Structure 1
Amino acid sequence: MAFEPPPRLVRALGETPRDTATDDWLRRLPELAQEAVARRDLTVERVQVPGGRSSLVVLVRTREGTPAVLKLVPPRSRPDSERAALGHWGGLGAARLLDGADASGDGAFLVERLQRDVSVRSLPEAKSMLEAAGTLRRLWVPPPAGHRFETVAERTGRQAGAMADCPDPDAEPLVAAALAAREELLASVPEGAEALLHGTFRQSKVLAGERMPWLAVGPDPVVGECAFDLARLVRDRVEDLIASPSGAAVTRRRVKRLAEALEVDQERLRGWTLFRAVESGVRALRVGRGQDAELLLEFAGWL
């Protein structure tokens, strides 16, 4: 079977800064997929299309006939980190890792198959937020001793450096506010707030399963305070928020309700929501996704 990368994956990788490792991975992807399938003695059903923006997703069956998903992740997306997080969660709140946590470092790993066409986003807005928040809470566990996960300070430090070179002068006040919020938040992290976080959590990352109703997929794990993880969920369905005449008020209520429901500080959640929205908006500007950038920066202005 041919393992050609879906166009969505190729476009998404093309929006990131070019590096030889990613180019080589994309060029060799069909070969890498064949090797990963053979190494695990899998039967291939099909490549998931449109698939993800940062990995090749292949629907397979194990030698015992169990449905599973084989993921192949480029080196820059930290596949070993994702594998380690899934192994640490042990299927609680997230798809279960079927490879060992210390499996071959080939950038591929096998996970429990969920219903990829049924995400929590398919529910009515209030219900989807409730279910997503409940799933996220289960993921917030202490990181393993001696972990090598990236920290919130490290990740946002890299992002802050890129934000400072914003291509739109009109966005500079928001960028300055977001960078100031980050500095203030990192200078006052509550004691004992460190947890293993999903890192890129949103409603579309929560899929229906058989073992549990809803389970998270596709983490980009990071260690830090829970408000950072929750911040991305605040802006879910941002296009609907922007289209609503009461979008700003709904956003502020959402911050308040999510903070109360998950017992995080409301102002810290607001600050991380601002930083993450502006960071995403500036990144969208940089790669030419002007409409996305406009939505994100308008949303950030409400905070």
Structure 2
Amino acid sequence: MASAPHVDPPRRLVRALGADSPWLASLPRLLAGSLARWELTAERVVAPGGRGSLVVLVRRADGTPAALKLRADGAAAEAAALARWDGHGAVRLLDAAPRDGALLLERLHAEVSLRSLPEAKANLEAASALRRLWVPPAPTGAEHPFTTVAEHTARAVDRIREHVPGEAGALVDEALEARSALLDDAPEELLLHGDFRQGAVLSADPGRAHWLVVGPDPLVGERAYDLARLVRDRLHDLGATSGASSLTRRRVRKLADSLEVDRERLRAWSLYRAVESASRHFAAGARADGEMLVEFAGWL
């Protein structure tokens, strides 16, 4: 095996996992093993990157470009989702070693996401990209390996109650009541991206769809849950405008109608997901971001 190369993880990743993270300490070994396994030559680390993974631009033995992604956790689920999509609307999975958290992916243009477009155009392209991902999680009659929205959100209930400040108690109650009602009346079970936003849609080379989705944390559930994260995209820009509340409700209507999703279900999931995300920010000490998300939830 090749000697462990020097790795400078992006600051965003270090902040998210903590400088003393055992996984960060293991990165040189994991990277060296993946480079050797697939006969890759490393070019550079993608920055700012994600909060739970390292992406390295590489060349394969035949000289073709690719991207090596090392995930702290969740590699098996991402690999399964990408294999299910098989390049239709999403980055193509070339190979995987889930036990090492390693995914070998086709290379996209990491520096060009939908966030480079004006908001209206970005949302149109986002809706088109997302529509292609909503497929049954497995062939008819087969089992799927994915966590459901019900299971995923159940893990957050205690954290929401513990970490969202008491003055937002009415919003917390509404969010959790909405979650229960939505799950009791779930209309469909489709494969979802799980963390869909404009920044997760990257430009591709000619010969592929112009925009392809990356970075899924896949779940199985209804479309409105997936679309709800997109509702609050560019949140700080939204908060800086006058009439943010009415603009938010208009965004819900436009996105729901463009993808034939029930408006009320999208509004309710958007409320829940904002409060849940706020709880994570409060728990991590990012109070300003948590308060911004609570304010957004109030606009809904």
Q: Which of the five TM-score ranges fits, normalised by the shorter chain?
A: over 0.9
Matched residue type, 2:89: G
Secondary structure, in 3 states, of the residue corresponding to 2:285? coil
CA RMSD of aligned residues (A): 1.4
- Structure 2 equivalent of residue 272 of structure 1: 269
CA distance in 2, matches of 1:212, 1:66: 19
- Structure 2 equivalent of residue 18 of structure 1: none
CA positional deviation for 1:166: 2.1
**For 1:43-54, what aligned pairs fall within 5 Å after superposition?**
43-54=41-52
Runs of 4+ in 1 over 6 A off after TM superposition: none
CA distance in 2, matches of 1:282, 1:171: 11
State whether structure 2 residue 260 is matched by structure 1 residue 260. no
Matched residue type, 1:133: A
- Structure 1 equivalent of residue 37 of structure 2: 39
Matched residue type, 1:113: R
List per-residue Cα deviations over 1:230-276 (Å, max 9, x = no partner): 00000001111111111111110111111111011111101100000
**For 1:149-228, what aligned pairs fall within 5 Å after superposition?**
149-190=146-187, 193-210=188-205, 211-228=208-225
Count of aligned pairs between the two proteins = 291
List per-residue Cα deviations over 1:270-295 (Å, max 9, x = no partner): 11000000111121111111221121
CA positional deviation for 1:134: 0.5
CA, structure 1 residues 53+104, in 2 after alignment: closer, same or farther (shift >3 Å)? closer
CA positional deviation for 1:5: 2.0
List per-residue Cα deviations over 1:219-239 (Å, max 9, x = no partner): 000000010000000000111
Secondary structure, in 3 states, of the residue corresponding to 1:263? coil
CA positional deviation for 1:167: 4.9
- Structure 2 equivalent of residue 19 of structure 1: none
How much identity, in percent, do the aligned residues show? Answer: 57
CA distance in 2, matches of 1:285, 1:167: 7
Q: Give the alignment partner of residue 93 of structure 1, picking from 71, 89, 92.
A: 89
Answer yes or no: is the 8 Å Cα contact 2:114–2:202 preserved in 1: yes
**For 1:1-303, what aligned pairs fall within 5 Å after superposition?**
1-14=5-18, 23-75=21-73, 78-99=74-95, 103=97, 105-144=99-138, 145-190=142-187, 193-210=188-205, 211-303=208-300
CA distance in 1, matches of 2:158, 2:260: 31
CA positional deviation for 1:196: 0.3
Matched residue type, 1:4: D
CA positional deviation for 1:23: 3.3
List per-residue Cα deviations over 1:38-86 (Å, max 9, x = no partner): 11100110111221111011100111111111000113xx110001101
Matched residue type, 1:71: K
CA distance in 2, matches of 1:252, 1:277: 14
CA distance in 1, matches of 2:12, 2:252: 31
What TM-score do you get using the length of structure 2 for normalisation?
0.94
CA positional deviation for 1:104: 5.6
CA distance in 1, matches of 2:238, 2:231: 11
CA distance in 2, matches of 1:167, 1:302: 17
CA distance in 2, matches of 1:251, 1:221: 26
CA positional deviation for 1:162: 1.3
